[in-house]
Amino acid sequence: MPLLVTDYSWTQTDTTVYIHVPLKGARVGKVDILSTDEYLKVHYPPFLFEAFLLEPVNDDRSTAKVGNGVAVISLPKRTNKFWKHLMINTNDKEKKKEVRERALLKYQEKLSSESRSKAEKQHTEKKYALETMMKLEKEERDSIQKMRDTEQEKTTAELGVWQLRRKQKAEEEAPVKLHSQKDNQNELKAMMEKQENGSSDRRNVKLDQSGSEAKCKKKQAHLPAPRLVGNIQVTFTPRVFQTALRESRVQEEEEWLKKQAEARRALNADVEELKNLKEADRNPDRLKDKGDKCFATGDYLSAVNAYNLAIKLNRKIPALYSNRAACHLKLRNFHKAIEDSSQALDLLTPPVGANAAARARANVRRGSAFCQLQLYSEGLQDFQAALKIDPHSEALQADTQRIQDIILGTVANPETK
């Protein structure tokens, strides 16, 4: 059961209610705040603060500041008047349960609406960027076509000027010198002599041609044979993630691979307990395998000890925290299971396909711990997150539906996971 916070304080003005909730040493990242117009919840395991508000507030303008060991929630009033009490004076569990469930539904609808708005905004921005890019490309094509047309007109004009000048020059050189009759006779005589010499030249040419053909045939006989036909084998560097590049989340995948490499290199060598260990036991992976074997045989305490030592050696491996959370679930240390599962989820970022199964397991383990503590709303959120990762799992679908039935009160005596 969670520990209810009773040492809170609140003040008010005509328009706003201020609630101060002490965090009792909890880290900022571990504080979960849920606020609607009639319900407020501040959860930082194992403590829980709930407020069933006396009057409705403006949830859209509500703010929360967490720091210096206190959470300050500002709730603007819908009607400007002073409240006699902060919360409704009733011990009716059914009414509180109804308000809690209604607040959870409103919160989920708000998250869905914000997600849709964000998706629509991204779609609009992408559409605008695409239209802008298409417009720029069209302007560039028009500019290039205009340059081509200008160059073509310029070249056509220069060609016309050149043809005109050539025609004028030909007209200037039109008078032709007339040959005298004597010159014509000399030319005719020279042509006849040339024909007689040409017949003897043709005979010599035929002999030369036959000799050159014989040489060509001889040269072809010494030519090498044609090259053989073959196939060239082409291989590509394999990718770690099999998703097509156009569909993948390259930045997130590279960040995840970088974090995994850093985790493999990380080693806390300043731990005092390492001095008494053998060299073989200073390997976090070997200690993880040892813890897995102990868990499989039901020796959960030994498994926890192995995971503890592996975490001291390397605090960057999410599987160590997730497996230790499973051990704490078996030992009914539910708050420790929640803490280890949350640490594993913090390390399993960014969310990519390579760590999807590990994220689903961590969500299920944290959700199971919440349900064991009867915090069914928080457990439902984790099971829904796991179901979103693996929507085809029949076991997850059945568990999620069972928790919803428990929240709605349709199950009389639920057996929590």
The sheet with strand 63-67 has its strands ordered as 9-12, 16-22, 70-76, 63-67
Q: What is the mean pLDDT of residues 164-188?
A: 66
Q: Which segments of 202-277 are extended strands (E)?
A: none
pLDDT at 203: 55
Least trusted range by pLDDT, from 83-92, 255-264, 284-293, 366-375: 255-264
CA 340 to chain CA centroid, nearest Å: 25
Cα–Cα dist 329/370, whole Å:
11
Q: At what angle do helices 318-330 and 284-296 cross, to 10 degrees?
A: 20
Q: Across all residues in the chain, what is the average pLDDT?
A: 80
Q: What is the mean pLDDT of residues 389-416?
A: 81
Residue 41 in contact with residue 58, Cβ under 8 Å? no
Token pair listed for 381: 């959120």
pLDDT at 279: 63
**Residue 97 pLDDT class (50, 70, 90 cuts):** confident
Q: Which helix (H) or strand (E) holds 209?
A: helix 181-221
Cα–Cα dist 361/120, whole Å:
31
Residue 294 in contact with residue 309, Cβ under 8 Å? no
pLDDT at 359: 92
Buried b / exposed e along 108-128 (16+ C-beta atoms within 10 A): eeeeeeeeeeeeeeeeeeeee
pLDDT at 254: 75
**Residue 331 pLDDT class (50, 70, 90 cuts):** very high
The string of pLDDT tens digits covering residues 188-235 is 566 666 665 655 555 555 555 666 666 666 666 666 777 777 788 777
**Residue 46 pLDDT class (50, 70, 90 cuts):** confident
- Amino acid (one-letter) located at 237: T
The sheet with strand 32-35 has its strands ordered as 3-4, 47-52, 39-44, 32-35
Residue 166, exposed/middle/buried by CB under 10 A (0-12, 13-18, 19+)? exposed
pLDDT at 7: 84
**Of 239 and 40, more confident:** 40
* pLDDT above 60 (res 268): no
CA nearest 21: which of 49, 62, 44, 1?
49
- β pairing state of 16-22 and 70-76: antiparallel
**Residue 269 pLDDT class (50, 70, 90 cuts):** very low
The string of pLDDT tens digits covering residues 342-367 is 999 998 888 888 888 999 999 999 99
* pLDDT above 50 (res 179): no
Q: Which helix (H) or strand (E) holds 138?
A: helix 93-172
Q: Could you tell me the pTM of the whole model?
A: 0.41
Cβ neighbors of 86 (< 8 A, separation 6 or more) are 10, 17, 19, 51, 53, 54
* pLDDT above 70 (res 415): no
Least trusted range by pLDDT, from 15-29, 362-376, 379-393: 15-29
Residue 364 in contact with residue 396, Cβ under 8 Å? yes
Phi, psi for 148 (deg, rounded to 5): -65, -45
DSSP one-letter string for 342-408: HHHHHHS-S--GGGHHHHHHHHHHHHHHHHHTT-HHHHHHHHHHHHHHSTT-HHHHHHHHHHHHHHH
Cα–Cα dist 336/369, whole Å:
9
Does the CA dihedral 162-167-171-177 come out positive or negative? positive
